[in-house]
C-alpha cells in the first residue's frame, strides 16, 4: 500500500504540474514537426493490412509524457528513443523486427543511431516508427519470384522437398503447394519447382489506444504511471489545450 500511495502521489504532482504548464506556448513547440511526421507515416502505410491513420495528438501527448517543455531533453530527444539502455532504436533500425516495413524509404537512408540521439526531427520520426512497429503484427510468407514460371526437375537420391527448395531458390511452402502428394520422394520422380523467397509482411494492426501505447512503447516498466500520464495528457490535447495550427 505504501508503494501505491507513493505512486499515486507522484502522479498527482505530475498531473497538476502538467495542467498548469501547458498554457505556456513553449509546450506547443513540436506540433508542426509531429503533424508532418505523422502525415508522412499515414501516407506511407495507407491501405497496408487495414492500417488506420494515426492521430498526431496521441504523439503529442507522448512527447509531453516522455519529456515536456521543462525537460532537459525537450529540444534534442522529445520522444526519448535512443537514450542509453533503450533497445527500441536498435530494434527499429536493425530491420529484424519489421522496422524496414514501417520506415519511409528516404528515412531508412538517413536515419542513424547518432542522428536519432542528436536531431529532434529524427527522434520524433524514430519514436513514431518504433511505436507503429510495435503496433503491427507480422508474419513470414513465401513470395513467388520473377515471372512465376513453373518447371519440373528429377529427384536425385537423398533429395527432400526442403533440400530441393534450397537448391532451386524456392521455399518449402511453395514446393509443398506445387507437389501436395509428394510426401516421400523417389529418385527419378518428377517434382514441380517455382522460384520464391521468404518475405516478412504486415498482416494486421493493434488499435492505437492510451493503454496499448503505454504497453507497447513504454512496456510499463520504466514508469508505472505511464498509462495514467498519457491518458491525462491526451485529454488535455483533445480539449484543444496546447495545439498549434500548422500550414505545409
Say what the pLDDT of residue 183 is: 86
Give me the long-range contacts of 95-103 (CB less than 8 A, separation at least 24).
Answer: 97/133, 97/138, 98/133, 98/136, 98/138, 98/200, 98/202, 99/129, 99/130, 99/133, 101/136, 101/138, 101/200, 101/201, 101/202, 102/41, 102/45, 102/129, 102/132, 102/133, 102/136, 103/129
Average pLDDT over residues 74-94: 91
pLDDT of residue 220 exceeding 70, the answer is: no
Q: Do you know the residue count of the chain? A: 248
In angstroms, the Cα distances linking 86 to 3, 83, 158, 223 are: 25, 6, 48, 13
What's the pLDDT band for 243 if we cut at 50, 70, 90?
A: low
What digits encode the pLDDT tens for the residues 97-129? Answer: 999 999 999 999 899 999 999 999 999 999 999
Average pLDDT over residues 221-238: 89
pLDDT of residue 224 exceeding 60, the answer is: yes
What digits encode the pLDDT tens for the residues 24-63? Answer: 999 999 999 999 999 999 999 999 999 999 999 999 999 9
What's the pLDDT band for 174 if we cut at 50, 70, 90?
A: very high
What's the pLDDT band for 241 if we cut at 50, 70, 90?
A: low
Interatomic CA distance for residues 121 and 92, integer angstroms: 16
What digits encode the pLDDT tens for the residues 55-83? Answer: 999 999 999 999 999 999 999 999 999 98
What's the pLDDT band for 242 if we cut at 50, 70, 90?
A: low
**Which has the closest alpha carbon to 81: 52, 59, 104, 57?**
59
Report which of residues 9 and 52 the model is more confident about: 52
Report which of residues 243 and 211 the model is more confident about: 211
Say what the pLDDT of residue 2 is: 46
Interatomic CA distance for residues 98 and 91, integer angstroms: 9
For the structural domain made of 17-138+205-238, what CATH number should be given? Answer: 1.10.530
pLDDT of residue 236 exceeding 60, the answer is: yes
Q: Do the domains 17-138+205-238 and 150-194 sit in the same CATH topology, yes or no? A: no
Dihedral, CA atoms, 60, 42, 117, 200, nearest 10 degrees? 130
Interatomic CA distance for residues 210 and 231, integer angstroms: 6
Among 81-95, 101-115, 147-161, name the one with the lowest average pLDDT.
Answer: 81-95
Say what the pLDDT of residue 86 is: 82
What is the share, in percent, of the chain residues with pLDDT greater than 90? 79
**Which has the closest alpha carbon to 58: 211, 219, 247, 221?**
211
Are the C-beta atoms of residues 98 and 133 closer than 8 Å to each other?
yes
The structural domains of the chain, with segments of one domain joined by +, span 17-138+205-238, 150-194
Count of beta carbons in the 10 Å neighbourhood of residue 33: 18
**Element spanning 109, H or E:** helix 105-110
Average pLDDT over residues 201-230: 89
pLDDT of residue 1 exceeding 60, the answer is: no
Are the C-beta atoms of residues 144 and 196 closer than 8 Å to each other?
yes
Interatomic CA distance for residues 187 and 216, integer angstroms: 51
CATH domain 150-194 topology:
Membrane-bound Lytic Murein Transglycosylase D; Chain A (3.10.350)
Report which of residues 163 and 148 the model is more confident about: 163
Say what the pLDDT of residue 78 is: 97
Say what the pLDDT of residue 240 is: 74
Amino acid at each position: 500500500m505504501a508503494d501505491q500511495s507513493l505512486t499515486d502521489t507522484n502522479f498527482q504532482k505530475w498531473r497538476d504540474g502538467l495542467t498548469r504548464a501547458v498554457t505556456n506556448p513553449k509546450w506547443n513547440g513540436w506540433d508542426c514537426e509531429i503533424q508532418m511526421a505523422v502525415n508522412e507515416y499515414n501516407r506511407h502505410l495507407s491501405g497496408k493490412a487495414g492500417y488506420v491513420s494515426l492521430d498526431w495528438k496521441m504523439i503529442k501527448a507522448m512527447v509531453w509524457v516522455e519529456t515536456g517543455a521543462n525537460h532537459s531533453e525537450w529540444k534534442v530527444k522529445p520522444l526519448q528513443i535512443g537514450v542509453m539502455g533503450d533497445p527500441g532504436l536498435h530494434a527499429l533500425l536493425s530491420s529484424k523486427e519489421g522496422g524496414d516495413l514501417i520506415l519511409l524509404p528516404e528515412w531508412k537512408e538517413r536515419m542513424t543511431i547518432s542522428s536519432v540521439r542528436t536531431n529532434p526531427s529524427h527522434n520524433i520520426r524514430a519514436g513514431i516508427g518504433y511505436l507503429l512497429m510495435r503496433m503491427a503484427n507480422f508474419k513470414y510468407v513465401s513470395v513467388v519470384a520473377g515471372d512465376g514460371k513453373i518447371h519440373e526437375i528429377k529427384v536425385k537420391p537423398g533429395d527432400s522437398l526442403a533440400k530441393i527448395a534450397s537448391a532451386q531458390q524456392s521455399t518449402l511452402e511453395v514446393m509443398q503447394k506445387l507437389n501436395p502428394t509428394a510426401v516421400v520422394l523417389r529418385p527419378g520422380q518428377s517434382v514441380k519447382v517455382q522460384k520464391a523467397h521468404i518475405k516478412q509482411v504486415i498482416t494486421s494492426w493493434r488499435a492505437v489506444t492510451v493503454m496499448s501505447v503505454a504497453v507497447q512503447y513504454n512496456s510499463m516498466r520504466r514508469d508505472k504511471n505511464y498509462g495514467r500520464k498519457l491518458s491525462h495528457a491526451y485529454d488535455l490535447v483533445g480539449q484543444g489545450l496546447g495545439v498549434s495550427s500548422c500550414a505545409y
